[in-house]
Structure 1
C-alpha cells in the first residue's frame, strides 16, 4: 500500500486498523466461566455494562456438571476450582521481547473490579469497541460504604452462598424429589470426575501434589454426603432405612435454618441497604452486578421466571421463605414511577430493583434462556 493510498483512507478507518493490529498482537485476557454459574453471570453482565467488544477477551466454558473445574490444568489456574476465573496478561510483559506472564483473578469481586477499571476513557486498553465505558465504581464515600455492605457483608457472606441455597432448597419429601431432578446429575458428574482424577493420581497416570489429592478427597467427601441424600429422593421418608432417615432429617434441618432463619435476615438487610431504583441510586454500579445475579438465582429457586415483574418475583421469594415473611414496602417517588412505567406505588425496594434491572440489555441477553 503506497503513501497516497494510505492518505486517502479516512482517519477513523486508520485508527480502527491500528487498534485492531495492536489488539491482535497482544495476548488477551481469558474468562473461564460456566453459563449456569451464578457468579459467572455477574462477570458476563459486567462485560456488557462496560461495553467490551466481543473480540477483546477470550471466553472459555468450564463445564461444572462434568467436573472440569477439578482438572489438574484448571487447578493450576485456580486452586479453589471455582468459576468465574479471569486470566490476564501482566502489563509489563506485553512486549515482543519478553515472554508474556499471566495472573489469575479467582474472586468474583476482584474480577468485576478489574473489568471495571480496565476499560474507561482514561485507560490504555486497546479496545475495538465504540460503546461507552461508564465507571461502575461508587463515586462517594457513602456510596462506597453501602456498596461494600451489599457486596461483602451480605451477598458474599456464607448464609447467602447461592450454591448452598441451591443444594439445600428442599424442606420436605416432595421438594426433595423435585430438587433431585436438577442437582443429582450435577452431583453425579462431580463425583465421577473427582473419583477419576483420584484413581489416575493413585495409579501414577497423572502426577499431582498431595495437596491437590487432599483437595479432591475433601471435595468428594462433601459430594458423597449430598449424594447419599439425593440418591434416595424418589422414596418417601417412610420407605427408606433408618440411617437414611437420620441423614434426611439432618438435611431438612440445615435447609430450614438456611431458608427460614438465614434468608429473612439477608433479604431484609438487602432491602434496607438498596437505595433504589438500582442498588446505589439512579445509575448502575458494581453493587448491581453482584445483586442482580444473586437475586435472579434466589428468585429461580423460589419458582420465579424472567416473565415475572418485581412484585411477583419478590412475593414468590417471600412465600418460599415461609412463616409469613414479608419485606417492608415503601412509597416510591413519582419520578421513579415514571421511569419504570405503571407499577404499584408501594412495594419493596428489591421489587423495584428487579423491575429496573430486568430492562437492561445485559440482563435480557444473559437471561435470554431463563434464570440461572
Structure 2
C-alpha cells in the first residue's frame, strides 16, 4: 500500500479513536439496515476499490498466485480483529475486515452498522479449540469447577471475554463466584499475567498455548480444555460498503477469492508455514507447523443457519451478563452472500461442510 494511503488511514483511525472514546458502552442505537431486497450487480467494475483489512488473506493470495487476478482494486490495510477494524469502520477508512464473532455484536451495541458476509469454522472432528484455559502455576485449578473464587483474565469486548462467560456458565458459576480481572488480550499479555500470578486463569490461543507450556510448564503452569466451540471466523463489512452497488459486487468477488484461499492454505501446509508463519509472521517452522496442525481443516458452510444460531446464543449470553439490550442475530448477516463462498468451492471441485 502506498505510504500516503497508510498515512491517511492512520490519521482517520486517530479520529475514530477519539469518537469511540466519547461513545458510552451502553449506548442504545438503531443499526441493522435491511439489504436483502437490494440486488448485487452481476459484474464488478474494474474501477471499484475496496479497502480490506485481512493481512492473512493478502499473503494467501500472493502465495497462491491469485492476487493479481482480482477483478477490482484492493487497498490492503495491515489490520484485522475487532477493535482496530471497528475504529477503521467508524473513520470510513475500511470496507471489509477479518474478525471473529464478537466484534459485530459490540458494533451493533455501539451504533456501528456492519454485516457479516462470509463465515468459516474448523471442520469436525473438532480436534482443537482456538483457545485453551491457561492455568497459573500453583493456582490449584484442575477442572472448570475449581474456578470458583479465582482471578480470571477478562476482556469484555473481545472473543476471549465472551468465552470466559461461556466457561463460567458451563461450570455452573456466575461472575460473582469469581474475580474477573479486566485485561486487554493483546500479544502475550495473558500468558505473562498467568506467569507472574496476576491472574489464576486466562484463555490463551494457538501458539501461545505451546509457548506458555514451554515457559511455565516446569513450574506448574498447565492448560485445561473448556469443551466449547470457539472457532468462528468471518469477513466483516461496513453496511455502507455492501449497500453500495459496485462495492457490493466487489465484496462478492472478494468472498470467492477468500474461499479459494482457505482451501489453498489447507492443501499447501508447507508453503503456508514458510510463506506466512515464518516469512511474514517471523515464527519458527516448528511453531508454524504446530499452528497448521491445530487449525485443522476449514468448514465453509453454504447454509448460515447454524452460524446464526450460535451468534444468537452469544448475543443472549452477553446481553444477560453485561446488561445489554438483546437483539436478533439475523440483522448482523448479509444473507445475499450466504452461498457465495461454498458455490465458489463447488465450482472448483471442493466440498464444503456443515456447521452445527
Query: Scaled by the length of structure 2, what TM-score is found?
Result: 0.26
Indicate the structure whose relative CO is greater, using CA pairs within 8 Å and at least 6 residues apart.
2
